Amino acid sequence: MFHILLGNTSDTNFWSENIGVFISSAITIVGFVVTYFLTRKNLKDEIQKTKGNKAIELMQEVPYELLEFINGLGKWSGQDALNKLNKVISTVCAYGSPSAVKILEEFQKEIFYKEDKDTKVLLAYLGLLISQIKFDITGEIMSPESWLIIKIKDYSRFQKDIIKIINTLADQNKPDKRFKIEGDNNV
């Protein structure tokens, strides 16, 4: 009877002889589970990275196309200009960052819903959009004004007005604060 209370000695020997096997098995199972979840996380991260790279690849030409659009203003027929702009709009809507899409939305409102369109405001939006997209693609900040200085021959004529407009739009649309043009030397 005493033997029943203590348990079978052969059972005790079984556990003591096989404890290493059980520990090894448990470690293997835990390792498998950890590996499974890490692999799953890495795969998700890699898919997100691939999606981001594809979006960047598709957006790379947009700043150039917008600059070409600025160059062609006044040279193309209304339909040609609209076709070029629609291509850019579609690309930005499909692959642009939320900030770029927000700027584009406001630009569209300015073009299509306002009766008296102010060319300076439209140019300011284009400069801001180009800067935002360049930032999204490269991480580099370039002043929205730089694009306009480079592309518009008589920019100095309305520089003060455009700086005020760009700063107002930067406050309203909340892109990166570094897009604001600071300093009294510009105004």
146 is written with which tokens? 């730089």
CA-closest candidate to residue 161, choices 129, 132, 119: 119
Shared-domain flag, residues 31 and 74? no
What pLDDT score was predicted for residue 175? 59
What pLDDT score was predicted for residue 5? 46
Shared-domain flag, residues 94 and 8? no
What pLDDT score was predicted for residue 3? 47
185 is written with which tokens? 């030397």
What pLDDT score was predicted for residue 141? 86
Separation CA 142–CA 136 (nearest Å): 11
What pLDDT score was predicted for residue 177? 60
What pLDDT score was predicted for residue 183? 64
| The model's pTM | 0.64
What pLDDT score was predicted for residue 90? 85
What pLDDT score was predicted for residue 74? 65
Residue type, 158: F
Domain count, the chain: 2
CA-closest candidate to residue 65, choices 41, 50, 84, 80: 84
Residue 137 covered by a domain? yes
Provide the domain limits for residue 142.
60-179
Q: What is the mean pLDDT of each run of 10 residues along the chain (187 residues)?
A: 50 76 87 89 82 75 80 71 82 86 88 80 88 87 86 85 87 66 55
**pLDDT, tens digit (0-9, with 9 covering 90-100), for 20-72:** 888 888 899 998 899 988 888 888 888 878 777 777 777 778 888 887 777 77
Residue 185 covered by a domain? no
Residue 187 covered by a domain? no
Last residue of a domain, one of 57, 74, 89: 57
